[in-house]
Structure 1
Amino acid sequence: MQLRVAAQLAAGLVYPRRCPFCDRVLGWMPDCPDCAAEQAKLRRAVPRLPATEHILRDVTGAAAVWRYDGCVRQAILRFKNGGRACYGETLGAEMARAVFGCNYDIKHGIITFNGVPPLARFDLVVPVPSSERGRGYEPPELLAGPLARALGIPLEKRALRKTRVTHTQKGLSAAERLQNLRGAFCVRNAQRIEGRRILLVDDVITTGATISTCAAALMQAGALEVFAVAAAHTEL
């Protein structure tokens, strides 16, 4: 733990912490004053998504912190498209606070969760496998790390894998997205999943096809339940 904090402090001196929403250099400032108002407008009053808004198959529910628009959209695109991997720490911490009530402090640019973790209703945190390779990091995995630490439960980074190349989801209807992803994910080690309650993590919930397909694979491997959480969601 001490080595990780020391490494984070050293990295913060060379690469100062930036706001994921507007890219302003924050350094050791805990919050960004430039985009706080827009963030507040895009934040969902209730994180849990109604089942009527998205495809939510094989999940007990889903939640998201923000609407995918404005500075939130720019933050996630910057994060996913070769931007700063460290944005995942900030976004993931805010997911933990908004959805599960996990409080955190930012001191010297380092996020530290404080207090006793809430009673975990989950056994494992599992990120959705990224559909793009070559960036050097997996966005959902980086979001899942802070969530796992905040909740005090293990992160199973490679529980899911993509079994085949799929067509781009852009422009497809919800039904077409489901068909495109059918059978595209599988569980690597069913023994790690069987009998477990899974918190499934993604960056954006669009139609819900991806989380539903991943949840189906987890349930087939013996998971007791799957709940999905994302940084943002689109409004259909």
Structure 2
Amino acid sequence: MFLVFQFILGLFVDFTDLLFPTLCLGCNQSLSANEEVLCAKCRINLPETNQHLAPYDQHILNKFAGKVPIQFIASYVYFTKGGIVQKLIHGIKYKGRKEAARTIASWYGHQLMINSTLANKIDVLIGVPLHKSRLRQRGYNQADYIAQGLSESLNIPYRIDVLKRNRFKESQTKKNRFERWENVKTVFSVDNHEEIKGKNVVVVDDVLTTGATIEACAIELLKAGCKSVGVLTIAATHR
């Protein structure tokens, strides 16, 4: 009976995929049975940064120099306008493809486990929070799904009950660095201080641009007593 059920379920899944095929977030073509989120061609063509091989690169850390001490920064891929990564991030944030965030982060986590020692320097992962009104609007926080994907592949806990966004702020997309900082400098606070006290915390987000949001988060986390703050993101703009 169980085998019959499996057979019928398989037919149903195949029929559903035929009517509503899962599409690649990079090129919008149908994915094959063994592909997730991106087709093989788009995944091969991801513009990987390899920053995890040199996470203490001063050129990258200079983004925060004189503002807040950041232990390390690493992003999986480069973000370019009109490229595969922009389409990927757009799908994750605005088309409901939240599981794609978890999958991509898992890919990056496995890469970190194989080719980096960063995992040994992380005690807890924390996604940049959304304000509750934006969370209701979108239905999920993509940064939490990224943190979950990294958590599962790195075997490091993630928490969604520590960093809090207190006030709703308009989109950062078209703001310069000063405007972004002014927009977020008093937005975040920390609950459950005991969960991060003395720990190496890593702030997780989808895209690192000017770093203003990360900076605001890091300041609050360090004030709350964490030992250090690192940064992991899916994407980063070219410096």
What range is the shorter-chain TM-score in? 0.7 to 0.9
Structure 2 CA distance for partners of 1:46 and 1:124, relative to 1, 3 Å: closer
What secondary structure does 1:35 align onto? helix
Q: 1:44 aligns with which of 24, 39, 49?
A: 49
Shift of 1:155: 1.3
Partner residue, 2:98: 85
Partner residue, 2:167: 164
Structure 2 CA distance for partners of 1:118 and 1:179, relative to 1, 3 Å: closer
Task: Determine the C-alpha separation between the residues in 2 that align with 1:183 and 1:58.
Answer: 18
Looking at secondary structure, tell me which structure has more helix per residue.
2
* RMSD after superposition: 2.8
> Is there any run of 5+ residues in structure 1 with no aligned partner, and where?
1-8, 103-116
Shift of 1:49: 7.4
Q: How does 1:167-178 map to 2 (within 5 A)?
A: 167-178=170-181
Letter in 1 for 2:219: A
Letter in 1 for 2:63: I
Partner residue, 1:62: 73
TM-score, normalised by the number of residues in structure 1: 0.78
How many equivalent pairs are there? 211
TM-score, normalised by the number of residues in structure 2: 0.77
Q: Which has the larger radius of gyration?
A: 2
Structure 2 CA distance for partners of 1:37 and 1:149, relative to 1, 3 Å: closer
Shift of 1:66: 0.8
Q: Deviations over 1:52-103 (max 9, x none)?
A: 356333321211011112011100011101332221122111221333438x
Structure 2 CA distance for partners of 1:80 and 1:207, relative to 1, 3 Å: same
Q: Does 1:73 align with 2:76?
A: no
Q: 2:158 aligns with which of 149, 155, 158?
A: 155
Task: Determine the C-alpha separation between the residues in 1 that align with 2:229 and 2:168.
Answer: 24
What secondary structure does 1:76 align onto? helix
Task: Determine the C-alpha separation between the residues in 1 that align with 2:224 and 2:119.
Answer: 25
Partner residue, 2:127: 127
Task: Determine the C-alpha separation between the residues in 1 that align with 2:209 and 2:56.
Answer: 12
Identity %: 26
Letter in 2 for 1:46: Q
Task: Give yes or no for contact 2:167–2:187 (8 Å, CA) kept in 1.
Answer: yes
Q: 2:209 aligns with which of 206, 221, 228?
A: 206
Task: Give yes or no for contact 1:58–1:219 (8 Å, CA) kept in 2.
Answer: no
